[in-house]
Amino acid sequence: MTSKFLRSFLAIAVFSIISAWAQTGGAAPAGAASSPASAAPTTTIATGTGSKLGTINIEQAVLGSNEGQRDFAALQKKLEPKQSELKAQNDELQSLQEQLQKQGDKLNEDARATLVKQIETKKKSFDRSVQDAQEDAQNQQKEIFQRILQKMAPVIVKHAQDNGFAMIVDTSNPWPQSPILWYGEQGDITKAVVDAYNTQSGIAAPAPATGAAAKPAPLKPVAPKPAAPASTAQPK
Instruction: Tell me: pLDDT of 132 over 70.
Output: yes
Read off the pLDDT of each residue in 1-22 and give the average, rounded to a whole number.
50
Instruction: Tell me: pLDDT of 234 over 80.
Output: no
| Model confidence band, residue 104 (pLDDT cutoffs 50, 70, 90) | confident
pLDDT of residue 33: 36
Please state, in angstroms and rounded to a whole number, the distance separating the CA atoms of residues 58 and 9: 12
The dihedrals phi and psi of 21, each to the nearest 5 degrees, come to -65, -45
Encode pLDDT of 107-121 as tens digits: 888 988 999 999 999
Please state, in angstroms and rounded to a whole number, the distance separating the CA atoms of residues 65 and 3: 18
**Percent above pLDDT 90 for the chain:** 51
Please state, in angstroms and rounded to a whole number, the distance separating the CA atoms of residues 163 and 46: 14
Angle between helices 109-162 and 190-201 (to 10 degrees): 90
Asked whether the beta carbons of 141 and 8 are under 8 A apart, the reply is: no
pLDDT of residue 185: 82
Any idea what the Cα angle at residue 170 is, between residues 164 and 174, rounded to 5°? Answer: 140
pLDDT of residue 98: 93
The distance from CA 57 to its chain's CA centroid, rounded to whole angstroms, is: 14
Top-confidence residue, 221 or 97? 97
C-alpha gyration radius of the chain: 24
91 in any annotated domain:
yes
First to last CA, the chain: 48
119 in any annotated domain:
yes
pLDDT of residue 31: 36
107 in any annotated domain:
yes
Encode pLDDT of 166-207 as tens digits: 999 999 888 887 777 788 888 899 999 999 999 999 999 988
Which of 27-41, 139-153, 154-168 has the least mean pLDDT?
27-41
227 in any annotated domain:
no
Question: Is the dihedral angle over the CA atoms 68, 74, 80, 83 positive or is it negative?
Answer: negative
One domain, residues 121 and 171? no
Residues forming beta bridges with residue 45, ordered by sequence position: 168
Q: What pTM did the predictor assign?
A: 0.70
Read off the pLDDT of each residue in 133-147 and give the average, rounded to a whole number.
95
One domain, residues 128 and 19? no
23 in any annotated domain:
yes
pLDDT of residue 180: 79
214 in any annotated domain:
no
Q: Which residue range is the domain that position 122 belongs to?
A: 76-136
> How buried is residue 100: exposed, middle or buried, by Cβ count under 10 Å (0-12/13-18/19+)?
buried
Top-confidence residue, 123 or 25? 123
3 state SS of 83: helix
94 in any annotated domain:
yes
Where does 163-189 have alpha helices with state H?
A: none
Which of 29-43, 117-131, 158-172, 213-227 has the least mean pLDDT?
29-43
Average predicted confidence (pLDDT) for the chain: 77
Neighbours of 59 (CB within 10 A): 23
**Comparing C-alpha atoms, which of 58, 44, 63, 64 is closest to residue 165?**
44
pLDDT of residue 63: 95
One domain, residues 131 and 31? no
pLDDT of residue 6: 52
Please state, in angstroms and rounded to a whole number, the distance separating the CA atoms of residues 117 and 96: 11
One domain, residues 80 and 61? no
DSSP 36: G
One domain, residues 65 and 154? yes
| Model confidence band, residue 222 (pLDDT cutoffs 50, 70, 90) | very low
One domain, residues 26 and 83? no
Sheet arrangement for strand 165-170: 44-46, 165-170, 52-56
Please state, in angstroms and rounded to a whole number, the distance separating the CA atoms of residues 138 and 78: 13
Please state, in angstroms and rounded to a whole number, the distance separating the CA atoms of residues 73 and 217: 9
**Number of domains into which the chain is organized:** 2
Encode pLDDT of 46-98 as tens digits: 555 667 889 999 999 999 999 999 999 999 999 999 999 999 999 999 999 99
One domain, residues 100 and 189? no
One domain, residues 121 and 36? no
Q: Of 136, 160, 182, at which residue does a domain stop?
A: 136
One domain, residues 191 and 81? no
224 in any annotated domain:
no
